[in-house]
Structure 1
Amino acid sequence: MNKKLILESGEVFLGEGFGANVDTEGNVVFTTAMTGYQELISDPSFCGQIVCMTYPLIGNYGINRDDFECIEPSMKGLIVRELCDFPSNFRSQMDLDEFFKHKGLSGIAGIDTRKLTRIIRQKGEVKAKIVDASVNNEEVIAELKAKAPFREHIQTVSTKTSYASPRRGKKVVLVDFGAKLGIIRELGNRNCDITVVPHTTTAEEILRLNPDGVMLSNGPGDPTSVPHALDMIRGVLGKVPIFGICMGHQLISLACGATTFKLKFGHRGGNHPVLDLRTNKVAITSQNHSYAVDSESLKNTDLEETHIALNDRTNEGVRHKIHPCFSVQYHPEAAPGPQDANYLFDEFITLMDEFKNKK
């Protein structure tokens, strides 16, 4: 299939389509991850986005049954320099092209991903569409410019009903804003009894479950699109320990009076250095977000900054000065990515123990 990628800003890239033979559109973003494409494809935080892989060869170890981060992918498309047709790995069950056809996803290969990445870095995230090579460019560009930004990302990926992953340990309520399975795996590895609830769950409903702790998950899009979540956070703050990841981090900050802003091209990849201001140690982290917390806005709140990104000095973590609550912008569950920050789940367990002993 001859396909082309058309950007709202006017650039056109010709390539070869793979996966389902359908048109697809979304915001184009890039990730610097060298491996982990299966986890990236199934990460709910990529909802509504067309992802450009900066590493040139993708698909070389196929798709397997174990590395998914959600059951149904919510990304819009994938852009690669070279697609591997014959994967080689003992766990591989199908190639990337076959998986995309099965899921109705569209991708494009054979384009200059380095040039595309430079355009995104210069212009920021732009709307784009993967279409048949015969389509009129100007018509697509006009269509993209006229279309309003999509904001219902969290509503799209959050679970609609509560469900449990029962164990014998501490009872944790995981509020799903687009939660990756890696969070459930890490809590399960620590024997937590997990109840996953929709993003619309109220503080009263959460406290009725009598949890030992509340986890606020990652998720896609703009944190200001779910104002009801701020009331929920304020309602549980101080009554139960809270740990937030990515979207959860931004929502905790907003609920405590800070503000957020949109990054020019976001942080995506598995090689982002983050400094812990308390220990002066650096962790290499996995990240995937378009928005960040304004560090200056934290000064008039009860939150203290605990982590910063060394690439651009943006905020990467906070801790509440009074209540048992902390959060990070990056992904300690690291799927895919380094496991430097995995210890934060242990800190959450310790926080729940300390809070229980104070009662």
Structure 2
Amino acid sequence: MKKLFRNLLFFSAIGSVAILASCGGDEEEPLPAAPSMEVEVEGVEVTGAAISAVEGETVTFTVTVTAPGVFNTLNVTPSVDGVAGTSTPYPRTASNVTLSEEGTVAVIGLTYTFDADDVDKDLSWTFEGVDDSNQTTEKTFTATVEAAPVEVVVYTETLIGGQSNATLGSFYDAEENKVYKYAETRDTHSASVDFLFFYGDTNKYAIAAMDDADANTAFSSALNVTNALSAIMPTKNATKFKVTALTAAQFDAIGDVDALASAYGEVAADASKVNNLEAGKVFAFVQASARGSKKGLVKVVKTDGTSGTNRSITVTVKIEPSED
């Protein structure tokens, strides 16, 4: 009986050891801490996680994923107007991934250039960092894109002669920045002339449209031709003008059509000429409808000459571009 009791105690002890050993073998290794992410943005205006950009600008994302469980992949998913696109994975072996020696910190550089198709769209990018345990971290950036400013067309220091100047032309095409003499204007180019230059005792240095009465008088007298403009020119574009309070420096600063429109102002140009011009003065004009009704600004660079044969004016012209 004592022997049997000792045997039962022995087997009972073995069973307890087996149960304890079995329980210990089922325990799982604890997961490492989940990854975290930081995103730096350069090249555009950033407010929080929102980007404001202009067409043509390039944004640079520098994504840093810290993964105690070892970095595996960065997934980037773009979205346009709420519709998600195809996700692009950047594994730790990707060329744009810089990985720490332990593999726990990954730095990924990404760039994107905004184009015309992005303007006025709701854009976003979702960055998802994944570690080797399939744990994730995520950040989303949204973007709004404005159209790039449309640059004005600029013609610098164009020289135009007066009505009696036999050397220089007097008739100006603001589209092509070309100056024509009277005969070639009359015979071939009147339809493309936006304004002319003449000098008079009252008007002094003046820029005018082809339909201006004082300009007609000046050229008729100089050329000894009756109604040299009003009766003889095939086309007389009714360009309109107005004076401005712009300084030369303010004129020089204008680079795009929005700035030009703002400087032109809300009051319509309605005069057939601007007179008493001198260096530094700035005036506005609008083409005739047949020429596209584009607005422009002119800065007087220089006035020159002491007689009808050598009178001239030098101008810089800024005008809206033609629509394609």
TM-score range, shorter chain: under 0.3
Q: By percentage of residues, which structure has more strand? A: 2
Q: TM-score, normalised by structure 2?
A: 0.22
Q: By percentage of residues, which structure has more helix? A: 1
Q: TM-score, normalised by structure 1?
A: 0.20
